[in-house]
């Protein structure tokens, strides 16, 4: 059964601007340990307030998703930025992507090291180069040319991440069980007052991955996709299966066929699970401001802000609301 959370206004008398702007955030699909549940949900709620304030002030959807994800990268509760999981050598390598639905411009970085906010670097790839993705040392060289300060590896490694890395290296470790606790990839989608959509996704990747492994996050159509003609999606889950079905683009394809944001999201997740056994989650918006947060995993922390109301949840069927003001 999929996590069922939505806010869909079916009143045909509503004008598009009645639903705009909107921002939706996820903190990663998977299993979240009990001691980290509150950190995860409070983190996405704080981040969505950031995006909401930008959009209410007339900011662009791109500005909103980038600043929202920066806040999540700066939160050690998530597998992104300073909370990233470690590769097989005990080091941090990160991936990130942004995409602008108005122009279809995109920027991404993969296997980047020593960068506090990879999502900021991904946006610079989009804004300052003619390329769509830079990887590894090339991405770091570009960061230096843009004046982005590199930080020590140790500043990106939490004691929790190091503990999980050591546990997974133990002779009696269960790799499947270890990966079940990998929730934390972060992402956001938004629609601004002009009806422009954007997405942003950032991650530390898979625990104990091979050095140089690149997952779904920086791949256009997999980790995210945005198009003003259909909507925007940010994904989370098992990267290799997400890439095989290009989950983000698949969901938007279903929306282009007339499916609602929630139905399209469910169809994409169902395809990934039935064909490949992969679990995951998504946040999705359309240009009119309808949104959904859907997941096939046990949990996914998520939050949305629309009409000065914050919506949030963690478990299947869970949907809380409160005023943002």
| Cβ atoms of residues 267 and 322 within 8 Å | no
Contacts of 160 (CB under 8 A, 6+ apart): 36, 76, 83
d(C-alpha 248, C-alpha 161), whole Å: 28
d(C-alpha 170, C-alpha 114), whole Å: 27
Question: At residue 125, does pLDDT exceed 70?
Answer: yes
5, 68, 185, 284: the active-site residue: 185
**236 annotated to a ligand binding site:** yes
**48 annotated to a ligand binding site:** no
**215 annotated to a ligand binding site:** yes
**216 annotated to a ligand binding site:** yes
Question: At residue 235, does pLDDT exceed 60?
Answer: yes
257-267 pLDDT, tens digit each: 999 999 999 99
**Closest to 43 measured CA to CA, from 70, 23, 17:** 70
pLDDT for residue 168 = 80
What φ, ψ does residue 253 adopt, rounded to 5°? -60, -45
27-70 pLDDT, tens digit each: 999 988 899 999 999 999 999 999 999 999 999 999 999 999 99
**Closest to 117 measured CA to CA, from 89, 150, 146:** 150
pLDDT for residue 14 = 33
What φ, ψ does residue 157 adopt, rounded to 5°? -110, 120
**186 annotated to a ligand binding site:** no
Beta bridge partners of 100: 198
Give mean pLDDT, residues 89-95. 97
DSSP collapsed to 3 states, 158-191: CHHHHHHHHHHHCCCCCHHHHHHCCCCCEEEEEE
The two structure tokens encoding residue 79: 């597998």
| Cβ atoms of residues 110 and 135 within 8 Å | yes
Give mean pLDDT, residues 109-130. 99
Question: At residue 180, does pLDDT exceed 60?
Answer: no
Give mean pLDDT, residues 181-203. 91
d(C-alpha 278, C-alpha 301), whole Å: 18
Say if residue 266 is exposed, middle or buried (CB neighbours under 10 Å; 0-12, 13-18, 19+). Answer: buried
Question: At residue 184, does pLDDT exceed 90?
Answer: no
- 120 confidence band (pLDDT: 50, 70, 90): very high
The two structure tokens encoding residue 320: 């809380």
**313 annotated to a ligand binding site:** no
Give mean pLDDT, residues 240-247. 97
Determine the Cα angle at 116 with ends 113 and 118, to 5°. 70
Annotation says 185 is catalytic: yes
pLDDT for residue 74 = 98
**Closest to 150 measured CA to CA, from 139, 134, 165, 162:** 139
Give mean pLDDT, residues 111-138. 99
When computed from its CA atoms, the radius of gyration of the chain, rounded to whole angstroms, is: 18
| Cβ atoms of residues 217 and 201 within 8 Å | yes
pLDDT for residue 169 = 73
Q: Is the pTM of this model over 0.75?
A: yes
Question: At residue 182, does pLDDT exceed 80?
Answer: no
Give mean pLDDT, residues 245-256. 99
What separation in angstroms does the CA of 2 have from each of 42, 109, 192, 218, 300? Answer: 22, 30, 28, 25, 11
Determine the Cα angle at 44 with ends 38 and 48, to 5°. 145
CATH, range 21-323: 3.60.20.30
Say if residue 324 is exposed, middle or buried (CB neighbours under 10 Å; 0-12, 13-18, 19+). Answer: middle
Question: At residue 6, does pLDDT exceed 70?
Answer: no
pLDDT for residue 1 = 40
**289 annotated to a ligand binding site:** no
| Cβ atoms of residues 253 and 265 within 8 Å | no
């Amino acid at each position: 059964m999929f996590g069922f959370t939505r806010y869909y206004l079916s009143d045909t008398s509503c004008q598009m601007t009645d639903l705009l702007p909107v921002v939706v955030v996820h903190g990663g699909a998977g299993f979240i340990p009990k001691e980290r549940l509150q950190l995860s949900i409070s983190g996405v709620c704080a981040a969505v307030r950031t995006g909401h304030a930008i959009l209410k002030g007339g900011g662009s959807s791109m500005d909103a998703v980038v600043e929202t994800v920066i806040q999540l990268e700066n939160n050690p509760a998530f597998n992104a930025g300073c909370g990233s999981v470690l590769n097989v050598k005990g080091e941090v390598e990160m991936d990130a992507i942004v995409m602008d639905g108005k122009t279809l411009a995109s920027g991404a970085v993969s296997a980047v090291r020593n960068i506090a906010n990879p999502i900021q670097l991904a946006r610079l790839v989009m804004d300052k180069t003619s390329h769509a993705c830079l990887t590894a040392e090339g991405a770091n060289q570009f960061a230096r040319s843009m004046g982005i300060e590199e930080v020590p590896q140790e500043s990106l490694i939490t004691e929790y991440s190091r503990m999980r890395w050591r546990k997974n290296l133990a002779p009696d470790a269960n790799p499947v069980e270890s990966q079940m606790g990998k929730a934390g990839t972060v992402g956001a989608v938004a629609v601004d007052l002009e009806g422009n959509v954007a997405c942003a996704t950032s991650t530390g990747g898979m625990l104990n991955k091979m050095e140089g492994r690149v997952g779904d996050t920086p791949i256009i159509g997999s980790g995210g996709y945005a198009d003003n003609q259909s909507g925007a999606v940010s994904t989370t889950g098992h990267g290799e299966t997400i890439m095989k079905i290009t989950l983000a683009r698949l969901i938007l394809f279903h929306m282009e066929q007339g499916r609602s944001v929630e139905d399209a999201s469910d169809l994409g997740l169902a395809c990934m699970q039935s064909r490949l056994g992969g679990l995951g989650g998504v946040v999705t918006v359309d240009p009119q401001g309808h949104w959904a947060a859907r997941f096939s995993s046990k949990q996914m922390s998520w939050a949305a802000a629309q009409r000065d109301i914050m919506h949030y949840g963690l478990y299947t069927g869970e949907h809380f609301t409160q005023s943002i003001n």
